[in-house]
């Protein structure tokens, strides 16, 4: 068993958590839960990014000091993740003293190593991106992402010698083919490097809302420069070397495709400059897009509209927490863009959850109640379903391991479908009580036990509910996957609970 350190990007506090943020966080959560299940020592980090011009402007607009503003707004993310049953191990805020310490220690190290120097910076700046653009990269002087005019900035800044890392980054990419996945995103990152790297300005004097530069306190670090270091702050960088050594570089950064350059070019170079290994893996995901309706603060990007104002709570109120989790994890492969729609959730809910999983649970429990006095029989070691289950377990396991929650769920639903077909074939509701009936029901109960284990990372609440309906004690994540996922562990002789429908059908979904 190894160590598994997974992170989400830290979210800007001036945004309200929306389904796009939830998409990243839930994928990280499911992966963390899977790795805990297989017995990996797992550490799951999320948090909020609280410095920079954008946040300072939002605070000023609301008539409060930046610190007060971030105290109010960071909470919204924590609340959203709690409501979505997100099992983070640490929630970092970049305004915490521990972060200031780690940023100053890390950048201090890079400074001592000679990779930081002073110069004058002139450039076009987009406050929404918190990033500079060259005129060529702009849309006639406007931000290519936000469409707003860029501001001319001229400042005496400290610079990071990114250009010194071009060769080492290329080598790193060549020697670590799995550093950035999927492959298309790796190629994108690699082509940034091949296109030539310019040094970057890493400090500001125009604002004071940031982490002070220890060797030049007139300056604060540029927000991206402090933000990336959060991944090390949470490991107590600068305070506890043994903890950093234990967890770094066993890290997996899950990020959206718009922040590839920061994570796949700057961040590994910064690590190299500080004398650390680059992170182990960056998994890039696409955007959830909405087909043009129901949006307010949206932006035109790549000819489509980005989803920015659907609060997760609107969906969980209507569908329940686990169905929303399921939809977001199941619908889109990590790496691709996905179309998010209300109709899409309602469709998945009615077909995969109500008709397949819910129906399997309810028909098995009903027949156990009517034909077996409510006591579930044990499975058959040589059941025709055992082979099917083994294949599904293997496929799901492999998919979780390669950061493909959608494929893990697809494999699990393949088993659910096969089991529903098995029940149709044998029609236990028409059979007389006896050994043959017990065999069919025992097999179906065993599949449900396996399904509860397999869906646990995606739908922890539903998994535990199924588990207790089967008469099992504890929860499906109590045993390690290599033990729990072996066919035949449903003991039989347990009281099976019929309960109310797990997923009442949604009629006339709007």
> Where in the sequence numbering do the catalytic residues fall?
18, 21, 126, 129, 143, 146, 294, 297
Q: According to the binding rule CB under 6 A, does residue 11 interact with ligand MSP?
A: yes
Q: Is the Cβ–Cβ distance between 219 and 213 less than 8 Å?
A: yes
Kindly tell me which residue out of 55, 56, 227, 265 binds ligand MSP, with binding defined by CB under 6 A: 227
Q: What is the smallest separation between the CB atom of 306 and ligand MSP, expressed in angstroms?
A: 5
**DSSP code of residue 259:** G
What is the three-class DSSP state of 304? strand
3-11, 173-181, 293-301, 450-458 -> range binding ligand MSP (CB under 6 A): 3-11
Tokens of 423: 């029940």
Kindly tell me which residue out of 49, 50, 380, 446 binds ligand MSP, with binding defined by CB under 6 A: 49
Nearer to ligand MSP, 335 or 374 (CB): 335
What is the three-class DSSP state of 388? helix
Query: How far apart, in Å, are the Cα atoms of 78 and each of 13, 71, 90, 99, 351?
Result: 11, 11, 11, 18, 32
In which region does residue 506 sit, left (phi positive, over 0), alpha (psi from -120 to 50) or beta (all else)? beta
Kindly tell me which residue out of 10, 396, 441, 494 binds ligand MSP, with binding defined by CB under 6 A: 10
Q: Is the Cβ–Cβ distance between 194 and 114 less than 8 Å?
A: no
Kindly tell me which residue out of 169, 211, 307, 484 binds ligand MSP, with binding defined by CB under 6 A: 307
Instruction: Tell me the backbone φ, ψ of residue 49, rounded to 5 degrees.
Output: -105, 110
Q: According to the binding rule CB under 6 A, does residue 259 interact with ligand MSP?
A: yes
38-46, 225-233, 310-318, 355-363 -> range binding ligand MSP (CB under 6 A): 225-233
- Our measurement of the distance from residue 394's CA atom to the centroid of its chain's CA atoms, rounded to an integer in Å, reads 23
Q: According to the binding rule CB under 6 A, does residue 256 interact with ligand MSP?
A: yes
Kindly tell me which residue out of 4, 6, 21, 325 binds ligand MSP, with binding defined by CB under 6 A: 21
255-263, 314-322, 450-458, 479-487 -> range binding ligand MSP (CB under 6 A): 255-263
Nearer to ligand MSP, 330 or 397 (CB): 330
Q: According to the binding rule CB under 6 A, does residue 54 interact with ligand MSP?
A: no
Q: What is the smallest separation between the CB atom of 412 and ligand MSP, expressed in angstroms?
A: 24
Kindly tell me which residue out of 162, 270, 288, 458 binds ligand MSP, with binding defined by CB under 6 A: 288
Nearer to ligand MSP, 48 or 419 (CB): 48
For tokens 């995901």, name the residue.
Answer: 285
Q: What is the smallest separation between the CB atom of 507 and ligand MSP, expressed in angstroms?
A: 29
Maximum CA pair distance of the chain?
86
> Binders of ligand MSP: how many residues, by CB under 6 A?
20
Residue partners of 82: CB distance under 8 A and separation at least 6: none
Percent of the chain that is helix, strand, coil (3-state, to 5): 50, 15, 35
Tokens of 293: 């309706």
Q: How many CA atoms lie within 13 A of 84 on its CB side?
A: 35
Using CB under 6 A, list all residues that contact ligand MSP: 9-12, 15, 20-21, 23-24, 49, 227-228, 230, 255-256, 259, 287-288, 306-307
């Amino acid at each position: 068993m190894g160590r598994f350190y997974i992170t989400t990007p830290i979210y800007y506090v001036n945004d309200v958590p929306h389904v796009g943020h939830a998409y990243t966080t839930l994928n990280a959560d499911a992966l963390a839960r899977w790795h805990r299940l297989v017995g990996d020592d797992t550490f799951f980090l999320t948090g909020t990014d609280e410095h920079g011009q954008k946040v300072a402007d939002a605070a000023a607009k609301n008539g409060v000091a930046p610190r007060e503003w971030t105290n109010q707004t960071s909470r919204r993310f924590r609340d959203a993740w709690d409501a979505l049953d997100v099992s983070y191990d640490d929630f970092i805020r970049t305004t915490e003293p521990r972060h200031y310490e780690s940023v100053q220690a890390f950048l201090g190290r890079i400074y001592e190593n000679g990779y930081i120097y002073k110069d004058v910076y002139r450039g076009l700046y987009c406050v929404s991106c918190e990033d500079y653009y060259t005129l060529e990269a702009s849309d006639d002087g406007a931000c290519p992402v936000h469409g707003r005019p860029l501001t001319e900035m001229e400042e005496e800044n400290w610079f990071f010698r990114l250009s010194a890392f071009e060769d080492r980054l290329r080598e790193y990419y060549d020697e670590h083919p799995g550093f950035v996945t999927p492959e298309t995103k790796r190629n994108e990152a690699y082509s940034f490097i091949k296109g030539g790297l310019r040094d970057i300005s890493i400090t500001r004097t125009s604002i004071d809302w940031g982490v002070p530069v220890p060797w030049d306190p007139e300056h604060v670090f540029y927000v991206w420069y402090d933000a990336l270091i959060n991944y090390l702050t949470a490991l107590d960088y600068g305070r506890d070397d043994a903890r950093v050594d234990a967890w770094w570089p066993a890290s997996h950064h899950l990020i959206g495709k718009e922040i590839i350059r920061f994570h796949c070019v700057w961040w590994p170079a910064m690590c190299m400059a500080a004398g650390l290994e680059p992170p182990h893996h960056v998994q890039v995901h696409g955007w959830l897009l909405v087909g043009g309706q129901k949006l307010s603060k949206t932006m035109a990007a790549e000819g489509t509209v980005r989803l920015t104002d659907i609060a997760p709570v609107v969906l969980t109120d209507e569908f329940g927490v686990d169905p929303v989790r399921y939809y977001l994890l199941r619908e889109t492969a990590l790496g691709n863009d996905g179309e998010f729609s209300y109709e899409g959730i309602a469709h998945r809910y009615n077909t995969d959850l109500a008709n397949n999983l819910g129906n399997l649970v309810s028909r098995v429990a009903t027949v156990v109640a009517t034909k077996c006095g409510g006591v579930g029989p044990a499975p058959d070691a040589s059941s025709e379903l055992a082979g099917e289950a083994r294949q599904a377990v293997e496929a799901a396991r492999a998919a979780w391991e390669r950061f493909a929650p959608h494929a893990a769920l697809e494999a699990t639903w393949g088993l659910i479908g096969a089991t529903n077909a098995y029940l149709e074939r044998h029609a236990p509701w028409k059979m007389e009580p006896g050994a043959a009936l017990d065999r069919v029901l025992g097999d179906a109960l065993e599949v449900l036990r396996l399904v509860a284990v397999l869906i646990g990372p995606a739908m922890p609440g539903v998994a535990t509910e199924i588990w207790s309906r089967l008469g099992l004690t504890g929860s499906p994540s109590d045993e390690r996957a290599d033990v729990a996922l072996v066919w035949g562990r449903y003991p039989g002789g347990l009281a099976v609970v019929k309960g109310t429908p797990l997923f009442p059908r949604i009629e006339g979904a709007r």
